Amino acid sequence: MNNINILEELNRIKFLLNYETGKLISEQVTKTVTKEKTDTGVKITEVTKEGIPIGPYTQNVNFPTGSNAVSPDTFKTFTDGIMNLINTNPETKKMLEEKNIQLTFIDVIGGASNTWGGNPTGYDMENDRKTAAKTTPTDSGYTSNKNLATQRAQIFLNNLIAFLSQQGITVNNEIPKKSSAYVINTGGFGDNDTRRDPKFLPGQFVSVNLKFNYVKTTTTERFEPRFDPKYIIQGSYNCAGISGNKTRAKIDSVVPNRCSKNNTWQIPLSNNPNYTLPYDGKAVPGSESFLAIYEIKFNKMFSDDIAKKKIQIDTKIQPFIRWNFSWDKGKIVKITIGNAPDVGENIITNNNLMNELKQYMNLPKYSPETKSYSSPKNSFEDLVKKYI
């Protein structure tokens, strides 16, 4: 494992353990699934986190002769470029404001010209900064230049990491932080020496390569009812005294005091299914479809074992959960859970309970005759949402 430190080896192992090849851990797509049992079923929450790349950002900074620290103005110009990269994109700017930007890679290369004390020295790289020198330098001037280039890279690296941390950008130990140093062939002259051939690139520089990302978090929730729809009967009683199967309900089968403004329960005395419920003395067409009660019933004889075997038993069906609806001038003003109008919590103000009602009302209907499922004819959107 030549040239591989402990951190790099750790990252290599992590890549092997089901991480996408070539991406840092902070750039992986991860999904966390939690399940929470409720009285009516299971609430499943999925949180997906995905690292979205920003950059890369690459820039060179020139140094004064003999100095190992860049000037404050030059450093500010450099960091302004980084912040501009982030702030010009509304999405990444928002991530920065929420302190959700991560540094994922930083590589700093320090350089020095091959002159020391007015004399030429050995060097590592030709002036193109790519081609290695043909000989290995050993002179003391080269060693001094190498140390200077190393100091430039390390000091710049430390200052830059401190700056990023101050901006709320996460910098942790998992991030590879690389710095290296080279003495560059500039013909044996400093960058500002008038005798240097102008075709030469500067040797007194730091080159920085940065990569960032932000973690995009997506949360989705879904609801799984406790029982298979095959074993559930969805029932309803309406303000016009009509049950969900279009037959007239008995007066004591519905809960009174919720279907008129004056809290006077009015079940039509006529057997005409098109009879409408009066509101303030005016007929309201279609009142036979206004829900007074909606309930879920299940066969108590369906134990888990029987249900798994799909054995159907004809026994008493009774409510598992019941929702009560209160109306005022054609609008639902309260929904409670229980067997009386004011028992239980008003679920209009409770998103979780309202979501459970929606999920149950939108369950597919099961037909024992055809042994198939079909979409509900009367959904939450049709019977509840548009009246709230």
The string of pLDDT tens digits covering residues 222-234 is: 777 666 666 666 6
**Do 206 and 158 share a structural domain?**
yes
Strands 101-113 and 177-184: parallel
Average pLDDT over residues 110-115: 94
Q: Under 8 Å CB-to-CB from 64, ≥6 apart: which residues?
A: 71, 204
Between 221 and 256, name the one with better pLDDT: 221
- Confidence band, pLDDT 50/70/90 cuts, at residue 143: very high
Overall pTM surpassing 0.85 (yes/no) = no
- How far is residue 153's CA from residue 62's CA, in Å, rounded to a whole number? 12
Average pLDDT over residues 162-178: 85
- The predicted pLDDT at position 13 comes to 43
Cβ pair 277, 361 in contact under 8 A: no
- The predicted pLDDT at position 359 comes to 80
Residue 13 falls inside a structural domain? no
Q: Which of 6-15, 151-160, 355-364 has the lowest mean pLDDT?
A: 6-15
CA 213 vs CA 7, 75, 177, 229: distances in Å: 20, 22, 16, 44
- The predicted pLDDT at position 341 comes to 53
- Confidence band, pLDDT 50/70/90 cuts, at residue 337: confident
Residue 20 falls inside a structural domain? no
- The predicted pLDDT at position 3 comes to 43
> Of 164, 191, 220, which residue constitutes the final position of a domain?
220
pLDDT in tens, 358-374: 888 887 776 767 777 77
Strands 317-328 and 291-299: antiparallel
**Do 271 and 132 share a structural domain?**
no
- The predicted pLDDT at position 331 comes to 79
Distance of CA 124 to the CA centre of its chain: 47
Token pair 């702030």 is found at: 87
- Confidence band, pLDDT 50/70/90 cuts, at residue 78: very high
Cβ pair 327, 239 in contact under 8 A: yes
Residue 4 falls inside a structural domain? no
**Do 280 and 208 share a structural domain?**
no
Among 194-208, 256-270, 332-346, name the most confident range.
194-208
**Burial tier of 235 (Cβ tally within 10 Å: 0-12, 13-18, 19+):** middle
> Of 186, 220, 254, which residue constitutes the final position of a domain?
220
> Residue 61 in 3-state DSSP?
strand
Cβ pair 213, 25 in contact under 8 A: no
**Do 265 and 215 share a structural domain?**
no
**Do 367 and 245 share a structural domain?**
yes
**Do 145 and 284 share a structural domain?**
no
Residue 18 falls inside a structural domain? no
Average pLDDT over residues 65-70: 86
**Do 178 and 104 share a structural domain?**
yes
**Do 345 and 201 share a structural domain?**
no
**Do 265 and 160 share a structural domain?**
no
> Residue 156: which H helix or E strand, with range?
helix 140-166
Between 89 and 265, name the one with better pLDDT: 89
- Angle in degrees, CA 139, 145, 151, rounded to 5: 140
Average pLDDT over residues 122-149: 92
Total domains in the fold of the chain: 2
User: Where does residue 385 fall: left (phi above 0), alpha (psi -120 to 50 degrees), or beta otherwise?
Assistant: alpha
For residue 56, is the peptide bond before it cis, meaning its omega torsion is within 30 degrees of 0? yes
**Do 194 and 45 share a structural domain?**
yes
| pLDDT > 60? residue 325 | yes
Residue 12 falls inside a structural domain? no
- Confidence band, pLDDT 50/70/90 cuts, at residue 242: low
| pLDDT > 80? residue 2 | no
How many Cα neighbours within 13 Å face the side chain of 365?
12
Residue 371 falls inside a structural domain? yes
Question: How much is the mean pLDDT over the chain?
Answer: 76
Residue 33 falls inside a structural domain? yes
The residue range of the domain holding 147 is 28-220
- The predicted pLDDT at position 287 comes to 52
Residue 22 falls inside a structural domain? no
Between 254 and 127, name the one with better pLDDT: 127
**Do 99 and 201 share a structural domain?**
yes
**Do 355 and 242 share a structural domain?**
yes
> Of 220, 252, 284, which residue constitutes the final position of a domain?
220
> Residue 219 in 3-state DSSP?
strand
